[in-house]
Chain A
Amino acid sequence: MALEGIRHFRRELDLTRGVYHLPYLAGFLFILIFSLYPIGAVLVQSFRDRRGFTLKYYQTFFQDPYYYTIIFNSLKVAFCTAAIALTLGTLFAVLVYKTDLPVKKLLQAGVLLPMITPGYIVALVYVYLFGRNGLITCRLLGLEPNIYGWKSVVFLQSIGATVTAFLLISSVLLTIPQEVEEAAANLGSSEGEIFRRVTLPLLWPGILSAGLLIIMGSIADFGTPIIVGGNFHTLASAAYFEIIGKFNPNMAATLSVFLLLPSLILFGIFNRLFKGYGQKVGRIRRFALKGPAAFLLSLPPLLYTLLTFTFFVSAFLAAFTKYFGYDFSLTFEYMKVALGLADETLDPMKNTIIYATVTGVAVAFLGMAFAYLVLRGDYRGKKYFDFAVLLPFAVPGTFMGIGYLLAFHNPPLVLTGTALIIMLNCLVRELPVAYRMGYATLAQIDKSIEEASFNLGADRFTTFYRVVLPLMRQAATFSMIYAFNATAKALGAIIFLVTAHTKVLSVKIFEATINRHFGVGAAYSLFMVAITGIGMLLIWRLGGEPLGPSRD
Chain B
Amino acid sequence: MARLEIRNVSKSFYHKVLDRVSFECGEELLSLLGESGCGKTTCLRIIAGFEVPDQGQVILNGKDITSLPPNRRQIGMVFQNYALFPHLNVFENIAYGLRIRKLSSKEIAIRVKEALAMVNLEGYENYRVSELSGGMQQRVALARVIVLKPQALLLDEPLSNLDAKLRVKMRGELKKLQRELRIPTIYVTHDQEEALAISDRVGIMNRGRLEQVDTPTRVYHQPQTEFVANFIGRINLLSFKMLYKLRITPIPGLKYYIRPENVILHPQGPFSGRVVSVEYLGNLARYTLRWEDGFLIAEEHSPLKVYGEGEEVKFTLNQERVIAVGEGSLEEQRDAMSLSCQPI
- CB atoms of B83 and A458 under 8 A apart: no
Partner of B97, one of A2, A449, A456, A467: A456
- CB atoms of A454 and B85 under 8 A apart: no
- CB atoms of A10 and B148 under 8 A apart: no
- Would you call A459 an interface residue if the criterion is a C-beta within 8 Å of the partner chain's C-beta atoms? yes
- Would you call A193 an interface residue if the criterion is a C-beta within 8 Å of the partner chain's C-beta atoms? no
Which residues, 45 to 64 on B, are CB-close (under 8 Å) to A? 48-50, 52, 57, 64
- CB atoms of B77 and A455 under 8 A apart: yes
B77-105 CB mask vs A (1 if < 8 Å, else 0) is 10111011111100000001100110000
- CB atoms of A455 and B100 under 8 A apart: no
A541 to B85, CA, bound (A): 24
A470 to B71, CA, bound (A): 20
- By beta carbon, the residue of chain B nearest A451 is B50
Partner of A2, one of B57, B69, B70: B57
- CB atoms of B148 and A446 under 8 A apart: no
Q: Take A9-B52, A456-B148, A457-B100 as given contacts and tell me if A451 and B67 are in contact as well, using a CB distance cutoff of 8 Å.
A: no
- CB atoms of B83 and A5 under 8 A apart: no
- CB atoms of A459 and B66 under 8 A apart: no
A451 to B85, CA, bound (A): 11
The smallest beta-carbon distance between A461 and chain B, in angstroms, is: 11
B100-119 CB mask vs A (1 if < 8 Å, else 0) is 11000000000000000000
- By beta carbon, the residue of chain A nearest B68 is A9
- By beta carbon, the residue of chain A nearest B156 is A448
- CB atoms of B49 and A456 under 8 A apart: no
- Would you call B326 an interface residue if the criterion is a C-beta within 8 Å of the partner chain's C-beta atoms? no
- Would you call A51 an interface residue if the criterion is a C-beta within 8 Å of the partner chain's C-beta atoms? no
- By beta carbon, the residue of chain B nearest A13 is B69
Partner of A455, one of B68, B75, B85, B101: B75
Partner of B145, one of A456, A459, A462, A470: A456
The bracket for how many chain B residues form the interface is: 20 to 34
Q: Given the complex, which residues of B lie within 8 Å of A294, measured CB to CB?
A: none
Partner of A470, one of B64, B68, B87, B97: B87
The smallest beta-carbon distance between B22 and chain A, in angstroms, is: 16
A458 to B144, CA, bound (A): 13
- By beta carbon, the residue of chain A nearest B86 is A471
- By beta carbon, the residue of chain A nearest B101 is A457
- Would you call B165 an interface residue if the criterion is a C-beta within 8 Å of the partner chain's C-beta atoms? no
- Would you call A8 an interface residue if the criterion is a C-beta within 8 Å of the partner chain's C-beta atoms? yes
Partner of A457, one of B71, B79, B81, B87: B71
Q: Given the complex, which residues of B lie within 8 Å of A501, measured CB to CB?
A: none
The smallest beta-carbon distance between B257 and chain A, in angstroms, is: 39
- CB atoms of B69 and A9 under 8 A apart: yes
- CB atoms of A451 and B148 under 8 A apart: no
- CB atoms of B83 and A446 under 8 A apart: yes
Q: Take A451-B79, A453-B96 as given contacts and tell me if A6 and B67 are in contact as well, using a CB distance cutoff of 8 Å.
A: yes
A4 to B66, CA, bound (A): 11
- Would you call A12 an interface residue if the criterion is a C-beta within 8 Å of the partner chain's C-beta atoms? yes
Q: Take A455-B48, A455-B75, A456-B100 as given contacts and tell me if A2 and B67 are in contact as well, using a CB distance cutoff of 8 Å.
A: yes
Which residues, 117 to 143 on A, are CB-close (under 8 Å) to B? none
- Would you call A473 an interface residue if the criterion is a C-beta within 8 Å of the partner chain's C-beta atoms? yes
A13 to B73, CA, bound (A): 13
Q: Take A6-B66, A456-B145, A457-B97 as given contacts and tell me if A471 and B87 are in contact as well, using a CB distance cutoff of 8 Å.
A: yes
- CB atoms of B76 and A455 under 8 A apart: yes
Q: Given the complex, which residues of B lie within 8 Å of A9, measured CB to CB?
A: 49, 52, 66-69
Q: Given the complex, which residues of B lie within 8 Å of A471, measured CB to CB?
A: 85-87
- CB atoms of A458 and B100 under 8 A apart: yes
A124 to B83, CA, bound (A): 54
- Would you call B15 an interface residue if the criterion is a C-beta within 8 Å of the partner chain's C-beta atoms? no
- CB atoms of A454 and B71 under 8 A apart: yes
- Would you call B72 an interface residue if the criterion is a C-beta within 8 Å of the partner chain's C-beta atoms? yes
- CB atoms of A449 and B85 under 8 A apart: yes
A451 to B72, CA, bound (A): 13
- CB atoms of B100 and A5 under 8 A apart: no
Q: Take A2-B57, A9-B52, A471-B86 as given contacts and tell me if A455 and B71 are in contact as well, using a CB distance cutoff of 8 Å.
A: yes
Q: Given the complex, which residues of B lie within 8 Å of A473, measured CB to CB?
A: 87
Q: Given the complex, which residues of B lie within 8 Å of A4, measured CB to CB?
A: 67
- By beta carbon, the residue of chain B nearest A10 is B52
Among B50, B72, B84, the most chain A Cβ lie within 10 Å of the Cβ of B50
A435-472 CB mask vs B (1 if < 8 Å, else 0) is 00000000000101101111111110010001100110
- CB atoms of B87 and A452 under 8 A apart: no
A449 to B96, CA, bound (A): 12
- By beta carbon, the residue of chain B nearest A3 is B67
A458 to B243, CA, bound (A): 61
Partner of B69, one of A12, A452, A453: A12
The smallest beta-carbon distance between A218 and chain B, in angstroms, is: 41
Which residues, 289 to 342 on B, are CB-close (under 8 Å) to A? none
- CB atoms of A13 and B67 under 8 A apart: no
The smallest beta-carbon distance between B42 and chain A, in angstroms, is: 13
The smallest beta-carbon distance between B151 and chain A, in angstroms, is: 13
Q: Given the complex, which residues of B lie within 8 Å of A451, measured CB to CB?
A: 48, 50, 70, 77, 79, 83
Among A451, A453, A455, the most chain B Cβ lie within 10 Å of the Cβ of A455
- By beta carbon, the residue of chain B nearest A470 is B87
A318 to B174, CA, bound (A): 73
- By beta carbon, the residue of chain A nearest B94 is A456
A1-44 CB mask vs B (1 if < 8 Å, else 0) is 11011101110110000000000000000000000000000000
Q: Given the complex, which residues of B lie within 8 Å of A467, measured CB to CB?
A: 85, 87
Partner of A454, one of B70, B81, B88, B145: B70
A459 to B68, CA, bound (A): 12
- CB atoms of B71 and A449 under 8 A apart: no
Partner of B77, one of A10, A452, A459: A452
- By beta carbon, the residue of chain B nearest A7 is B67
The smallest beta-carbon distance between A470 and chain B, in angstroms, is: 4
Q: Given the complex, which residues of A lie within 8 Å of B69, measured CB to CB?
A: 9, 12-13, 454, 459
Partner of B67, one of A5, A446, A455, A457: A5
A404 to B75, CA, bound (A): 53
The smallest beta-carbon distance between B58 and chain A, in angstroms, is: 11
Q: Given the complex, which residues of A lie within 8 Å of B75, measured CB to CB?
A: 455
- By beta carbon, the residue of chain B nearest A460 is B71
A459 to B88, CA, bound (A): 18
A5 to B63, CA, bound (A): 13
Q: Given the complex, which residues of B lie within 8 Å of A456, measured CB to CB?
A: 71, 96-97, 100, 144-145, 148
A to B CB contacts below 8 Å, 15 in the list: A1-B64, A2-B67, A5-B67, A6-B52, A6-B66, A9-B69, A452-B77, A454-B50, A454-B70, A454-B71, A455-B73, A456-B145, A458-B71, A459-B69, A470-B88
**A-B CB proximity, top 7 nearest:** A5-B67, A456-B97, A452-B83, A448-B83, A12-B69, A470-B87, A454-B70
> A residues bordering B, Cβ < 8 Å?
1-2, 4-6, 8-10, 12-13, 446, 448-449, 451-459, 462, 466-467, 470-471, 473
Question: Beyond the given A449-B83, A449-B86, A452-B85, could you list 11 further A-B residue pairs with CB under 8 A, ordered by the A residue number?
Answer: A2-B67, A6-B66, A9-B67, A13-B69, A448-B81, A453-B96, A457-B101, A457-B148, A458-B97, A462-B100, A470-B85
